[in-house]
Amino acid sequence: MMLTRRACLSVTGLAGTAALVGPDRPYAAASPRHGGTLTIAFRDDIATLDPAIGYDFQNWALIRALFCGLMDYEPGTTTLRPGLAETVSLSPDARVYRFTLRRGLRFHHGREVTAADVVYSLRRTIHPATQSPGQSFYAAIEGFGPFVAGETQELPGLSAPDPHTVVIRLSRPYAPFLHALALNFASVVPRDMVERYGADFGRHPVGCGAFRFDTWRIGQSVVLRRYEAYYEPGLPYLDRIIAEIGQEPLTAMLRLERGEIDVVGDGIPPARLNAIRRDPRFQGLIGIRPRLATTYLAMNVTRPPFDTLRVRQAVAHAIDKSRIVRLINGRGAPTDQIFPRGLPGYDPSFSGPAYDPARARSLLREAGWKDGFQTDLMTAATDPNPRIAQALQQDLEAIGIRASLRVLARPAMIEAACSGTGAPLIWSGDTGWSADFPDPSDFYGPILSVAAFAPGGWNWARYRNAGIDALAAEADAMAAPLQAAARLKRWQAIQAAILADQPWVPLYNPLFFVPHTARIQGAEALFTDPVVTPVNFMHVYVVEG
C-alpha cells in the first residue's frame, strides 16, 4: 500500500515510526488464536458511540473497534497507512488527494461501502448541525468556511467521481491532513442507518470495523462482537468485547485480581501502582503506555511580572521535575519539551533550563524582584493535581515567589484558564495537552498559536507570536512526502523558538500503566494506539488459564 505522487512513495514518509509501548516484563509467547471474550472495566459512562461526536477516553477505543476510515496507523507506531483506502495519491501541488477504496467492503448491516458514504460521513462531521468536536480538523478542505458559516450547502472539496474513488481537494497544502483522516471523526458511516436512527445513531452504531455492535445496557455495559466480514484477513482474534461501565479503578483492580475482568481500562490506581508493580502475580501483566501528552506549568505572559522573560526563566530553573515525578510514583518521565516523547518532531538533543534555585534567584534579582513577589497558582481538584501544585508552590517559595493556591473543580478550572481569567500560574495536571493526532502541529495550533489566544482557546499562557505563527503555517504547507524530514526539522526549530520565550515550563510526559490477566495475549498490541485510545483490541487474543 503506497502513497503515490508521480512515482510511488511509501506512506511512512509522512511520519516517522515510533514505538510507544512496553511491558513491565516480556510477555509470554503464544500463538494467536481465534475466539474468547475480553472484559474491560471503565470508570466513566459512555455518552455516545457516534464517531462524529464521541471524544471521551473510554468511548474512543470502542468507536475505533466499530468503525474504519480512509487512513489508519501501523500498530504501535505513528506511521500512517491506508485503511479503507487501497491506494492514496497526492497531486504535485499537494492539494488534491485521490483515494481508491478496497473492493468488497461492507457495513455491518450488509450494504456495500461506497465512495458516496465516505463523502457523506466527512460532510456530516463538518456540518454545523452535527456539532462535532472534530469539525475544525478538516478546515483545509475547499469550501469549509462558507459551508460551516451556513452560506452554502455545497462543499466542493469533497467528491466521489465513481463508487470506488474519493477525491478531496484542499484550499491549501496541509501536511497533517492524512492524520486528520485517521481520526475517529473521519470514520465512515452508512447514511441509511444514520437517517434511520437520527440522533440515536450513537446508541445504535453501524460501521465496518473489526467488531459490530451487540447490546448496550445503559450505565452498565456495552458488548461488541467479532465482524466476520472485516477487511483484514484473520482479524480480529476476539469473538467478543464486554466493556463494563461505572467501575472505580480501585474496585476494578480488585475484580481483576479475582479474575472477574481482564483489563482495567483506566489503568492502575495511583495509590496501588508501586504495590502492583512489585506483586509477583503481575509480572509481565502490566502494559506501560507512554501517552502522547505533556503536562506543564503555564505562565500568563500578559500579566506582570510574568510579562518579563527573566521572571519566566527563573520559574523554569526553580522547578524540580524529578521530585514531582517521584510524587506520582514514577507515572511520568521528566521533560523539557512541548513535544512529547514518541511524537514525530521530538528532539532528543534538546535540553531546557536545569533545576538550579541559585540561578533562579539570580534571574529574579536581575528582573528587579530581589525580594520576590506574591502570585496565584491555579489547578484542578482531581488527585494528584493539588499535591503537585503544593510541590510547585514549595519550589517557588524557595526562590522568593509566594504562590497562593486556587484549586477548582476541573470544569471550572478549564473555563477560567480558557477565558483568560485564570491565575497567572496554571498547573495543567491531567488536563495537560494530549495528541489528537501524532503530529507536532497539534501541539502548537490548539494551545500556543495566535488563534488559540481567543476566549475559549486553550492558550493558557496567553502567548502570541505572529512570527512563529507564520513559521508554523510554512511548516504545515510542506505537505509533499519528500519534505517530511525537513518539515520535522522546521518544527523542532519552532519549538526551540517558543521555549526561548518560556511561556511554559514543561514538566513530564505521563505514563499509563494498564494491568491485565494472564489469559490476555498479544498484549504488546493492546495499548499501542498512537493517539488517545486507551486500548487497541485488534491483535489481542485470549487463552485459558
**Cα atoms found within 13 Å of the Cα of residue 484, Cβ hemisphere only:** 17
Task: Give a yes or no: residue 539 inside a domain.
Answer: yes
Please return the burial class of 142, using the count of CB atoms within 10 Å of its CB with bins 0-12, 13-18 and 19+.
middle
Same domain for 401 and 359, yes or no, is: yes
Same domain for 175 and 219, yes or no, is: no
pLDDT tens for 141-161 read 999 999 999 999 999 999 999
Per the structure, how many domains does the chain have?
A: 3
Same domain for 75 and 62, yes or no, is: no
CATH number for position 530:
3.40.190.10
Nearest CA among 130, 229, 235 for reference residue 186: 130
Residue where one domain finishes, among candidates 190, 217, 243: 190
Task: Give a yes or no: residue 7 inside a domain.
Answer: no
Task: Give a yes or no: residue 19 inside a domain.
Answer: no
Same domain for 473 and 342, yes or no, is: yes
Same domain for 148 and 214, yes or no, is: no
Nearest CA among 284, 355, 366 for reference residue 322: 355
What's the CA gap between 270 and 248, in Å, rounded?
Answer: 12
Task: Give a yes or no: residue 26 inside a domain.
Answer: no
pLDDT of residue 507: 97
What's the CA gap between 219 and 210, in Å, rounded?
Answer: 24
pLDDT tens for 506-544 read 999 998 888 899 888 765 556 544 454 556 788 888 886
* Rg from Cα positions in the chain: 24
Residue where one domain finishes, among candidates 137, 163, 190: 190
CB of 389 closer than 8 Å to CB of 377? yes
What's the CA gap between 289 and 183, in Å, rounded?
Answer: 19
Task: Give a yes or no: residue 185 inside a domain.
Answer: yes
Compute the mean pLDDT over every residue in the chain, rounded to the nearest whole number: 90
pLDDT of residue 27: 44
Residue where one domain finishes, among candidates 190, 223, 253: 190
Q: Which amino acid is at 69?
A: G
Task: Give a yes or no: residue 196 inside a domain.
Answer: no
The H or E element spanning position 365 is helix 357-366
Same domain for 267 and 300, yes or no, is: no
Same domain for 45 and 160, yes or no, is: no
What's the CA gap between 71 and 84, in Å, rounded?
Answer: 7
Same domain for 166 and 271, yes or no, is: no
Bridge partners of 434?
293
CB atoms within 10 A of CB 259: 10
Nearest CA among 186, 469, 510 for reference residue 342: 510
CATH number for position 114:
3.90.76.10
- Residue whose grid cell is 472534530: 134
All three cell numbers of 231, joined, read 477487511
Same domain for 459 and 352, yes or no, is: yes
Measured over all CA atoms, what is the biggest interatomic distance in the chain, rounded to whole angstroms? 73
Same domain for 309 and 429, yes or no, is: yes
Same domain for 402 and 311, yes or no, is: yes
Regions in the chain scoring below 50 on pLDDT: 1-29, 528-530, 532, 545
Task: Give a yes or no: residue 23 inside a domain.
Answer: no
CB of 205 closer than 8 Å to CB of 231? no
Same domain for 539 and 451, yes or no, is: no
CB of 421 closer than 8 Å to CB of 383? no
Query: Whole domain around residue 113: which residue ranges?
Result: 68-190
CATH number for position 318:
3.10.105.10
